[in-house]
DNA sequence: AACGGCTATACATACGTATTCAAGGCGGTA
DNA sequence: TACCGCCTTGAATACGTATGTATAGCCGTT
């Protein structure tokens, strides 16, 4: 059914030139006359010729491909993170602009992951997502650096200065969120989110929260600090805890939208109105934030900006050998959930 | 900094055998003695040897890679579809089980897309997502078939029997949704969703809806049929239209969750309670369906099942040359939004 | 007219693997 | 002991491209 694929020799024969000339003409080398180039391009078009990436990659020792590695703590959890998911599309687009394809893989954070892509020349560089800053995993990053692989990691550079990183300005985001609540006249603001070194992003958001309170001269009340992982249920339970502690509050800054939505559900269930009784601010700007009622005020990380920064960083690393860290600005999106009347 | 990559010759030298033997030992050929194999594996381990995929692919004429092509009607719209997004993770996993990697690409539906992956030997097969059943695009599929490419399409096989397809049983889903509303005692059930041949999925859901009504002996009321594309705003406007038409209704079947959520918001805004006044059922089971208040009853398509079916189909096509169509069952997830008290 | 410099093309080769073919060694049977 | 067949291994080669080196042609200068 299918004929044998045409090779650059077939094009050469048809155009009446040699194979190297075909290669040069197609790759845009300057040392090919305009006339020859035209003849070659016509021949290639006519035979529907496409460069064989395997042969090309073998010769050039590269793949023109990047690998996107998702790390997950438990099987299946990886692509539940809405922000990470929102990166995929823009990332594919940016890769295409640089002439790269994007390969996607999922790794268990706990298992001894292997990055075969770089080793096996299937990808020229690697983007790590969800790797976090757990110190226990640091040796692996060191191994990756030692192997000479090009990679960029999403996450703060603070904990360990290994490899290039791109991250949101989480601290500023936390500051903005709480400052906004203060501006709305709230004074007893609860923080809902995990505060442990394993989640550096949450920790930074908390730091911003505290800085905002300090700037307003408000003392920190430990009862208003509730632990919650990024699940709707955890947000609901956080409200129950606040009630149980008999800690009065008129504002909530949740370190992620999912728990913020849980908070709003719990408040609704006990008859406390959002935003009149309690103003709520989240973090992430997931799609559901816009769909919640009332729409959730939240700190947005721009997935396009993040994608571009990650891809640009890895491409720069590959093509120029230089690696830099980036911190991206965040933006407070004010919606109904935090607006006092 | 980085040494030269070890090749199979290096392994051969270290293990004291020839290069072909290394290749055979690593690919699990039977004609290698256990002792030799062990020596080779040890040498490979010691030098941290990885097969060069470019060279291997060039020799074998394959890439051990699949390409996932998203088609979008407008730039940036592709990865907004929550269901498609939820396929990515499971698909990557299934590909890995088959020994394939997954490449992701985004194409404009309107532009004259080129599937270079297959042409350029970068992928062995292609999975098409969001291609729909538009007749105008059919020639391209025919071209793809003619080129001998392996591909599978997500969507109904009904409109054009070109290539292998995998799809949900949308008609049954529509039937189940409306049947459920009927069982809850609803009699005036509105349908919110596009009914045009360009969206065959919606059309099928509508067909199921009509079949359920017919089975219950209820005549179709055209005023209860409102056009709405898959956006929250469209759902809200659908309610306004129903009100404007002075069409009484006690139930709504929305052809997708996003518009269903819009419907619920609009109902809330005009003081009609869900589910007491109006029962609402959606389609897709997007993450926000669980987070809405009240939680949305919806027809769920299982992303794992869909992913597995798509990947299995394409792998079968590549390795066995046979292509088959699949229709996947759907499941009604009953939540509060449709439960009469 | 001779020669240097430049442009455009051809020739030869290397990238690393998988596979075909041939050959060597070994044990078993007549 | 001689011969046949099987199991294991090695030598040679092809996959299709990109690039270093060499060569042919051309123009301008002296």
Neighboring chain A residues of B104 at a CB cutoff of 8 Å: 88, 92, 102-104
Distance separating alpha carbons of residues B94 and A78, to the nearest angstrom:
15
Residue numbers in A near B52 (CB within 8 A): 58, 120-121
User: Average pLDDT, stretch A183-192?
Assistant: 96
Q: Which of A5, A101, A106 faces B89 most closely, judged by CB atoms?
A: A106
Question: Of A162, A91, A147, which is closest to residue A311 (Cα–Cα)?
Answer: A91
Task: Please give the nucleotide, over all strands, whose C1' is closest to the CA of residue B56.
Answer: C17
For chain A, give the percent of residues with pLDDT over 70. 91
Which whole number is the average pLDDT over B325-329? 93
Confidence class for position B108, pLDDT limits 50, 70, 90: confident
Residue B161 has pLDDT above 70, yes or no: no
Calculate the angstrom distance between C1' of C7 and CA of A21.
14
Are residues A23 and A56 in contact, defined by beta-carbon separation less than 8 angstroms?
Answer: no
- Whether A54 sits inside 8 A of B51 (CB atoms) is no
Mean pLDDT of A317-334: 92
Q: What is the pLDDT of residue B58?
A: 93
Query: Of A1, A101, A121, which has the smallest distance from its Cβ to B103's Cβ?
Result: A101
Q: Pairing mode, if any, of strands A125-129 and A65-72?
A: parallel
> B83 in helix, strand or coil?
helix
pLDDT tens by residue, A308-318: 999 999 999 99
**H-state helical runs in chain B:** 8-15, 19-26, 34-47, 53-60, 82-98, 116-119, 138-146, 170-183, 200-215, 232-244, 257-269, 287-291, 303-320
- The more confident residue out of B95 and A290 is B95
Report the alpha-carbon distance of residue B276 to residue B274 in Å, rounded.
Answer: 5
Give SS3 for B3: coil
Residue A3, pLDDT > 90, answer no
Q: A250 and A186 in contact (C-beta within 8 Å)? A: yes
A36 touches strand C (CB under 7 A): yes
**Per-residue confidence at B109, pLDDT binned at 50, 70, 90?**
confident
Confidence category of residue A86, pLDDT binned at 50, 70, 90: confident
Per 3-state DSSP, what percentage of chain B is helix, strand, and coil (rounded to 5)? 45, 15, 35
User: What's the half-sphere exposure (Cβ side, CA atoms, 13 Å) at B131?
Assistant: 30
A114 class by beta-carbon count within 10 Å (0-12 exposed, 13-18 middle, 19+ buried)? exposed
Protein-to-nucleotide distance from the CA of A311 to the C1' of D8, whole angstroms: 49
Q: What does the pLDDT read at residue A58?
A: 93
Instruction: Say whether pLDDT at B245 is over 70.
Output: yes
Q: Which residues of chain B does A122 touch, with a Cβ-Cβ cutoff of 8 Å?
A: 53-54, 101
CA-nearest residue to A90 within chain B is B76
Q: From the Cβ of B122, is strand C under 7 Å away?
A: no
Q: What angle do CA A208, A302, A260 make, to 5 degrees?
A: 55
Q: How confident is the model at residue A2 (pLDDT cuts 50, 70, 90)?
A: very low
pLDDT confidence tier of residue B222, bands split at 50, 70 and 90: very high
Instruction: Give DSSP secondary structure letters for B168-181.
Output: E-HHHHHHHHHHHH
Strands of the B251-254 sheet, one edge to the other = B225-226, B189-192, B251-254, B279-284, B297-300, B331-333
Quick check: B1 pLDDT over 50? Answer: no
Hey, what are B39's tokens? 């020596």
Average pLDDT over residues B69-91: 81
Res. B43: pLDDT tops 50: yes
The spacing between the Cα labelled CA in A102 and the C1' in D10, in angstroms, equals 40
- Residue A54 to residue B121, Cβ atoms within 8 A: yes
- DSSP-assigned beta bridge partners for residue A164: A152
Closest CA to A131 of A68, A180, A196: A68
B75 pLDDT tier (thresholds 50, 70, 90): confident
**Closest Cβ–Cβ partner in B78, B86, B122 for A101:** B122
What's the pLDDT score for residue A194? 86
Confidence of residue A1 (pLDDT cuts 50, 70, 90): very low
Q: State whether residue B252 is helix, strand or coil.
A: strand
The average confidence (pLDDT) of chain B is 88
Task: Give the other-Cβ count within 10 Å of B21's Cβ.
Answer: 22
Among candidate residues A179, A188, A196, A174, the one with its CA nearest the CA of residue A283: A174
Q: Is the pLDDT of residue B82 over 70?
A: yes
| Mean pLDDT along residues A215-220 | 94
Whole-model pTM: value is 0.89
Strand A251-254 and strand A279-284: pairing?
parallel
> Starting from the edge strand earliest in sequence, which strands make up the sheet with B101-108, in order?
A326-328, A164-168, A151-154, A125-129, A65-72, A101-108, B101-108, B65-72, B125-129, B151-154, B164-168, B326-328
Chain A: residue whose CA lies nearest to B7: A120
Could you give the angle at which helices B19-26 and B8-15 cross, rounded to 10 degrees?
100
**Nucleotides of strand C lying closer than 7 angstroms to a protein CB:** 7-12, 14-20
Rounded to whole angstroms, the distance from the CA of residue B53 to the C1' of nucleotide D8 is 27
Phi then psi dihedrals of residue A123, to 5 deg: -140, 150
**Mean of per-residue pLDDT scores for chain A:** 88
What is the per-residue pLDDT for B332? 97
Is the pLDDT confidence value at A7 over 60? yes
């Amino acid at each position: 059914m299918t004929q044998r694929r045409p090779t650059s020799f077939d094009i050469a024969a048809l155009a009446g030139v040699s194979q190297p000339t075909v290669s040069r003409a197609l790759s845009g080398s300057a040392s090919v006359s305009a006339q020859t180039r035209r003849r070659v391009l016509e021949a290639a078009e006519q035979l529907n010729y496409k460069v064989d990436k395997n042969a090309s990659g073998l010769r050039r020792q590269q793949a023109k491909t990047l690998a996107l590695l998702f790390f997950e703590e438990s099987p299946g959890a990886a692509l539940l993170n809405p922000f990470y998911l929102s990166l995929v599309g823009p990332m594919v687009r940016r890769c295409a602009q640089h002439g790269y394809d994007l390969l996607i893989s999922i790794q268990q954070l706990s298992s001894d992951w292997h990055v075969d892509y770089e080793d096996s020349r299937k990808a020229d560089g690697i983007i790590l997502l969800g790797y976090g800053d757990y110190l226990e995993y640091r040796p692996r990053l060191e191994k990756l650096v030692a192997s000479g692989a090009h990679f960029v990691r999403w996450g703060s550079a603070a904990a360990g200065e290994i490899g290039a990183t791109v991250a949101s300005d989480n601290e500023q985001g936390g500051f903005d969120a709480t400052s906004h609540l203060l501006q709305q006249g709230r004074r007893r603001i609860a923080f809902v989110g995990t505060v442990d070194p394993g989640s550096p992003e949450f920790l930074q958001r908390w730091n911003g929260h505290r800085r905002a309170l300090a700037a307003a001269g408000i003392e920190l009340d430990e009862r208003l600090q509730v632990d919650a992982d990024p699940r709707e249920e955890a947000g609901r339970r956080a409200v129950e805890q606040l009630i149980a502690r008999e800690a009065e509050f008129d504002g909530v800054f949740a370190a992620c939208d999912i728990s913020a939505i849980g908070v709003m559900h719990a408040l609704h269930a006990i008859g406390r109105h959002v935003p009149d009784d309690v103003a709520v601010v989240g973090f992430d700007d997931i799609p559901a934030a816009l769909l919640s009622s009332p729409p959730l005020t939240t700190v947005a990380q721009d997935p396009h900006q993040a994608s571009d920064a990650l891809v640009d960083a890895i491409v720069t690393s590959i093509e120029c050998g230089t690696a830099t860290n980036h911190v991206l600005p965040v933006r407070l999106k004010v919606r109904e959930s935090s607006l006092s009347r």
